[in-house]
């Protein structure tokens, strides 16, 4: 399978230790080999020699939009709709508040848009941020199972905040259907793409998504704490009223005007001075995507996860684990989550034996498959070692 894998050669673009099976790219992607050299250049020449001149001469000032356009190609968005900067949490806040404001501005005097629907299984920070946004906008939060989101959106809904892929189970949610249902009800949707961008086609423009946010340190391999991004559909940009109007998003930032006038386009998503070092590390990391199609990545992702489940069935004693990741390809992201007794201890032992995944309390083992550098041999070894860990010398669990 590795011999015929069309993406096998991409593995050489990463600093991957062949002695370790790394299946935690859904938490932190591996280091692309081109990043250290690029960072040395940025630090020594652009910062060390050019200093302040680099804002113009080295393109620092336009980096958020330039890198945003590179990410846009991976999430199915045209240019000028993605800006890089801040954290996912901050971008969730911008998007939810702005979406509420837009929804209300479109239907004044009718049924009040008083609720924000939140994916009931969401990553905790998204829920915390949504609650704060609701307090700020005078709306109320209602938690809804993501599979029921389309049916629950109604005339009182301002916005729905949904994870495209569930971080715990790896379940892929219905972006086209949920977005269409929201639009039919006059509401908007904010999509969290943290566990889907770089792992599968998203199709934001094709499905007329409103807002999307995501981190860049998972399948996009931008490095720990790499800046996040914000997508604002082109048609909504003139209405995008950010709750964080910083000087970087001003129409004339260097005028230092006392009053705020927003810039045009996705630039409105900027706030303060960009975090240049981590942003340019991300830009270098994105070079690994040269010549790679997201469709090929998705095809390999499904093959890897299918093969892992097959190998687990072969190597792991019956009844020792239970998959909580959907079997259907249309409902699966790029990870497999296994429920297991003593999961924390099991993951510690796997890591000690050179198989790195992660653990989510109370009983879930997560294995993330990054098609750009995960091999089929990695997959087989991981399942085999898992079977060994779950079986004692005399064959008892």
- Tally the C-alpha atoms within 13 A of residue 103's C-alpha that lie toward its C-beta: 33
Q: 196 to each of 26, 173, 201, how far by Cα in Å?
A: 9, 10, 8
Closest CA to 280 of 109, 58, 20, 91: 58
355 forms beta bridges with: 21
**How many helices, marked H, and strands, marked E, lie in the chain?**
11, 13
Please pick, among 14, 22, 93, 123, the residue that the annotation labels catalytic. 123
Residues with Cβ within 8 Å of residue 267, at least 6 apart in sequence: 64, 65, 83, 248, 249
Please pick, among 192, 210, 358, 378, the residue that the annotation labels catalytic. 192
Please pick, among 171, 218, 268, 381, the residue that the annotation labels catalytic. 218
Q: How far apart are CA 174 and CA 330, in angstroms?
A: 9
53, 242 in Cβ contact below 8 A? no
232, 188 in Cβ contact below 8 A? no
338, 312 in Cβ contact below 8 A? yes
217 is catalytic: yes
192 is catalytic: yes
Please pick, among 366, 369, 376, 378, the residue that the annotation labels catalytic. 366
222, 29 in Cβ contact below 8 A? yes
For residue 313, whether the previous peptide bond is cis, meaning omega lies within 30 degrees of 0, is no
Catalytic residue numbers, as ranges: 123, 192, 217-218, 366
């Amino acid at each position: 399978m590795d011999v015929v894998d069309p993406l096998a050669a991409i593995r050489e673009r990463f600093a991957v230790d062949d002695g370790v099976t790394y299946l935690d790219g859904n938490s932190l992607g591996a280091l692309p080999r081109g990043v250290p050299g690029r960072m040395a250049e940025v630090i020594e020449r652009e910062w060390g020699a050019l200093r302040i001149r680099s804002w113009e001469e080295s393109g620092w000032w336009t980096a958020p939009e330039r890198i945003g356009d590179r990410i846009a190609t991976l999430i199915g968005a045209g240019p000028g709709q993605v800006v890089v900067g801040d954290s996912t949490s901050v971008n969730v806040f911008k998007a939810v508040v702005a979406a509420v404001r837009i929804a209300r501005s479109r239907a004044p005097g009718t049924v009040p848009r008083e609720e924000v629907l939140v994916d009931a299984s969401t990553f905790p920070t998204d829920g915390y941020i949504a609650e704060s946004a609701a307090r700020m906008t005078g709306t109320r939060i209602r938690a809804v199972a993501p599979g029921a989101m389309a049916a629950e959106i109604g005339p009182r809904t301002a916005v729905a905040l949904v994870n495209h892929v569930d971080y715990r189970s790896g379940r892929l949610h219905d972006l086209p259907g949920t977005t269409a249902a929201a639009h039919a009800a006059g509401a908007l949707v904010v999509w969290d793409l943290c566990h889907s961008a770089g792992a599968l086609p998203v199709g934001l423009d094709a499905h007329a998504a409103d807002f999307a946010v995501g981190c860049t340190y998972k399948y996009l391999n931008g490095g720990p704490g790499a800046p996040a991004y914000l997508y604002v559909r082109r048609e909504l940009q003139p209405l995008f009223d950010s709750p964080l109007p910083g000087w970087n998003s001003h129409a004339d930032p260097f005028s230092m005007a006392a009053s705020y006038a927003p810039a045009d386009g996705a630039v409105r998503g900027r706030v303060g001075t960009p975090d240049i070092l981590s942003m340019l590390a991300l830009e270098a990391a994105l070079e690994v995507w040269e010549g790679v199609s997201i469709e090929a990545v998705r095809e390999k992702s499904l093959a890897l996860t299918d093969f892992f489940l097959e190998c687990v069935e072969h190597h792991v004693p019956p009844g020792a684990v239970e998959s909580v990741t959907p079997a259907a390809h249309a409902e699966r992201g790029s990870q497999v989550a296994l429920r297991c007794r003593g999961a924390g201890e099991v993951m510690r032992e796997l890591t000690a034996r050179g198989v790195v995944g992660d653990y989510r309390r109370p009983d879930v083992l997560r294995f993330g498959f990054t098609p750009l550098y995960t091999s089929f041999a990695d997959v087989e070894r991981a399942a085999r070692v898992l079977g060994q860990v779950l079986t004692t010398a005399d064959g008892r669990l």
